[in-house]
A = this chain, B = another copy of it.
Amino acid sequence: MSANLLFPSDPTQRAIARDLYALVEDRPLISPHGHVDPAILADDLPFPDPARLIIVPDHYLTRMLLSQGVRPAELGVPTRNGEPVQQDGREIWRTFARHWHLFRGTPSRLWLERTFTGVFGVDIPLGPDTADEVYDALAARLAEPAFRPRALFEQFNIEVLATTESPLDDLGTHAKLAADGWGGPGGRVITTFRPDDVVDMEWPGWAERVARLGEMTGEDTSTYRGYLAALRARRAAFIAAGATSSDHGHPTARTLDLTDAEAEALFQRGLRGEASAEDAEAFRANMLFQFARMSIEDGLVLQLHPGAVRNHNTWLYATHGRDTGGDIPQATDYVHGLAPLLQAFGNDPRLRLVVYTLDETTFARELAPLAGGYPAMYLGAPWWFLDSPEMLRRFRETVTETAGFYNTAGFVDDTRAFCSIPVRHEVARRIDAGYLARLVAEERLPLAEAEETIVDLAYHIPKRIFKL
């Protein structure tokens, strides 16, 4: 019934798009970057109630209701200051359903609807009057064995799923997955090395975490040299657990090649709690440079996610903590920021750098020219607020003419919401089909090449770029 979802309505383009999409509709999903909790798959327990599965952990949803005055605590989001939190899943669900109209035209709406229908077979349209009915139907499904995480993983046709862990994670969950035949190098569920919490001095508790890093690795992390050695050791452990990439979330794309002495001085000021904002920025910039160097040594693909002002909504942060919807994008400079790194390593075939953005103005102006000129660099898929039908389309429209298709790294769902994985890939594949259909309809690309391209985009490119 939604055979034409997201396809152009022009009949010529729509017919081509449908044929192209048919070539990738049933291809396995490659998910090289995301934030699913691996314990879900390791433990394979039934999911909690619909509200706790779908609403409470999804800051795309809770921030939208906040924007209309509904406090996150009313939606069950935990507080860290003792404020009372709604505990009743059904009440959370009803509050959410009363505000369902807010999501008209948003990808969240699309993702949720397709998850309800496609994953859970629940076709009742959500709304204030149907809240209980939908809730009960979803809850009934969640109780069935076929809706346990591993069963869904099979149903979703996921070939490989990368989760994301801190160097301080002992990777025990991934070890359990490996023991069950689900994880480890080349496995279905692998990890990603995400060291921000031990790199960013401005993140409270940094020095304590650096000390813990030393304990875990037996390195002396009271020195910069020991700190680097500890990071190398953890990268090796992550690789042993199946990781093929690292991931780095920085406020900017700045990179810096500091001398050891300069970096050591910053590091020591950080440990003493005396680092300025400029110190912290310089240290992060230097560490990106060092991680590129390590990537050349150990082969991890380096993913860079820059440009978020973290915790812009300070009340939200104070009440609910990090990652609850209070981060806001900012303008990001790649052309100067990445110059030190690219000038040192950008022509080195051993480096693979995948760069994302929250600032779409950089796609045509900076990122496509850089990815279309440096062997090491690839363009990451539209991310976060940009992971949406209109933006996925604009991404191709603004990037392809300069970087082509083959300097893009393939779709990445980047989600915490396990059940939304299929629809996110479906949306990306449908938009790519529509874009390619337009090229064909406007006689800019022969159909046979469009057919080859869509399969590459959906499947072969992400496998190759992320070394899966």
Contacts and interface: CB of A to CB of B under 8 A. Distances in A.
Interface of A: 2, 4-10, 12-13, 63-64, 66-69, 101-107, 110, 125, 309, 312-316, 325-326, 328-331, 333, 335-336, 339, 342-343, 346-347, 349, 358-361, 364-366, 368-375, 377, 385-386, 388-391, 396-398, 400-407, 438-439, 441-446, 449, 452-453
B5 A105 contact: no
A315 B335 contact: no
Contact of A9 (B342, B361, B441): B441
Contacts of A66: 347, 373-375
Contact of A400 (B5, B105, B360): B105
Contacts of A107: 401
B404 A64 contact: yes
A39 to B, nearest CB: 29
B442 A6 contact: yes
Contacts of A4: 442-443
Contacts of A361: 331, 361, 365
A7 B438 CA distance: 10
6 contacts: A10-B10, A67-B373, A67-B377, A69-B349, A101-B406, A106-B401
A315 B351 CA distance: 15
Contacts of A407: 67-68, 102
A69 to B, nearest CB: 5
Given A9-B438, A343-B313, A369 B104 contact: no
Given A333-B331, A361-B365, A386-B364, A346 B313 contact: yes
A252 B373 CA distance: 22
A312 B335 contact: yes
Contacts of A103: 404
A336 B371 CA distance: 29
Contacts of A347: 66, 313, 315-316
Given A67-B372, A369-B329, A398 B403 contact: no
B373 A401 contact: no
Report the 10 A-B pairs with minimum CB-CB distance, sorted nearest first.
A9-B441, A105-B400, A388-B401, A9-B12, A5-B443, A63-B373, A69-B375, A315-B347, A314-B343, A385-B402
